[in-house]
């Protein structure tokens, strides 16, 4: 089983969007997939409740209070971590993960929080010795804006691999409202934005 932890201590950076899309992409590829929600808000589980029966099946795990095992035969486990993780929580979740996906938004506050989080990650031997991969994802990027340029400069200087940049689009909110992802949707617009995910999915598959 490959375990993917989606985490950042900054709230509102798109962790749930990234986690649900990674889970949906795995399910669409035919892999038995579980989505574990560690956040007390249970946003990922709410998305699963809205998910149509015809969509590729996913198993939801409520980890807000206690961690439970993924069902037998699970090939991919995606963990949606809450913001403001404590050091012990970070350590425990990283131990479980094969790869850590770190979404970051344009903006000074998000950059600051991301630097603090990366600092905490780098205190862990598995990260410091490169035994586990950290994939940084620029989220809600708008081309040719000062914020996007600033984030590009920031991402280029943090010493971790920037795997992809996801463009800002209303399609993410529209799909979330229906319990869907870009990987469940037909049409040119969805296909265009799915292309942004290709480098991240390839990176995860190579772990």
Q: What would the pLDDT profile of 98-155 be if each residue is shown by its tens digit?
A: 999 999 988 888 888 888 888 888 888 888 777 888 999 999 887 777 777 777 777 7
Q: What is the pTM for the complete model shown? A: 0.93
Reply yes or no on whether the pLDDT at 53 is more than 90. Answer: yes
Question: What pLDDT shows up at residue 185?
Answer: 96
Q: pLDDT class for 30, splitting at 50, 70, 90?
A: very high
* Conformational region of residue 76, where left means phi above 0, alpha means psi within -120 to 50, and beta covers everything else: beta
| Alpha-carbon Rg for the chain in angstroms | 16
The ranges assigned to domains in the chain are 2-205
Question: What pLDDT shows up at residue 159?
Answer: 72
Measure the CA dihedral 18/23/28/32, to 10°.
Answer: 170
CA triple 181-199-100, angle to 5 deg: 80
Question: What pLDDT shows up at residue 142?
Answer: 79
Average pLDDT in the chain: 91
Instruction: Give CATH superfamily name and number for 2-205.
Output: P-loop containing nucleotide triphosphate hydrolases (3.40.50.300)
Q: How many Å from the N-terminal Cα to the C-terminal Cα in the chain?
A: 12
């Amino acid at each position: 089983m490959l375990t993917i932890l989606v985490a950042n201590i900054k709230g509102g950076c798109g962790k749930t969007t990234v986690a649900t899309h990674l889970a949906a992409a795995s399910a669409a590829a035919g892999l038995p997939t579980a989505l574990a929600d560690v956040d007390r808000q249970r946003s990922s589980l709410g998305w699963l409740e809205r998910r149509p029966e015809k969509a590729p099946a996913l198993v939801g795990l409520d980890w807000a209070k206690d961690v439970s095992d993924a069902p037998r035969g699970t090939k991919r486990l995606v963990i949606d971590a809450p913001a403001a993780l404590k050091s012990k929580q970070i350590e425990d979740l990283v131990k479980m993960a094969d790869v850590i996906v770190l979404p970051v938004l344009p903006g000074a506050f998000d950059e600051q929080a991301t630097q603090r989080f990366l600092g905490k990650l780098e205190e862990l031997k598995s990260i410091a010795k490169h035994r586990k991969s950290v994939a940084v994802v620029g989220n809600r990027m708008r081309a040719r804006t000062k914020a996007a340029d600033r984030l590009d400069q920031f991402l280029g200087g943090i010493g971790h691999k920037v795997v992809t940049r996801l463009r800002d689009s209303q399609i993410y909110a529209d799909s979330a409202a229906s319990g869907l992802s870009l990987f469940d949707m037909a049409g040119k617009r969805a296909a265009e934005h799915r292309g942004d995910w290709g480098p991240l999915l390839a990176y995860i598959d190579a772990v």
